[in-house]
Structures are given as C-alpha cells and as structure tokens.
Amino acid sequence: MTTIYHNPKCGTSRTVLARIREAGVEPRVIEYLVTPPSRAEMQALLKNLGMAPRDILRRKGTPYEELNLDNPALTDAQLLDALGAHPILMERPVVVTAKGARVCRPAERLDEIFPA
C-alpha cells in the first residue's frame, strides 16, 4: 500500500500524487492539514524516514520562526508538540511504500521508493 501525506495546495505534492496515479496506483491520500498524524503516528513515520522531528520541519509559509523552532535547546518532544499543534510545519509530501518512506521534495525523490 502506498500512502501520501498530501497538501493539495502544494505544487510538488500534486506532482507526486499525479506521478503515483500515472503509474496505475491509487494511494491512500492523507490530507495531513485536515487529518494530522497523531504523535505516535508521527514518531513511527519519522522512524520510517530515518529522521528526527527537527529534520521534517518546514520553514516557508509556516509559524516556524515565530515559534522559535530553530532554537537548538528544543527537545524532540517539544518539536513533536509543535508539529501536533501546527501540522503545516510538516514538510511535504511524504510518501510511504513497501520500499520505504521519503520526503519527496524534490518530486524525483519518489523514484527512490516507488516501483517503476
């Protein structure tokens, strides 16, 4: 099962979703701004990505700076709290397949985990 954490307002996210569908796959689409991952889901997703919470934070178009999330003293737990409260902070799109998970920015990163 292929899953995409998708933001329909994001051009890269739309491109990645279209590429998956063009390959004949209908993925599970999670509009994470409408249905954000729970803390446990986010922790599992980050583990699958091989990333820490700080690694998935998006700066552009988010409250990143006003929340002072570049503060190195912030713990992973505090960053997870911020992601839970502000799902727009999650970099997108994130795609999960049987081959692994990737933040598909740029869209070509999909090739690393998506069957040809």
Active-site positions?
Answer: 10
* Beta pairing partners, 57: 90
Strands 3-6 and 94-97, bridge-based pairing: antiparallel
101 sits in which H/E element: strand 100-103
- Cα gap 99→53, rounded to integer Å: 22
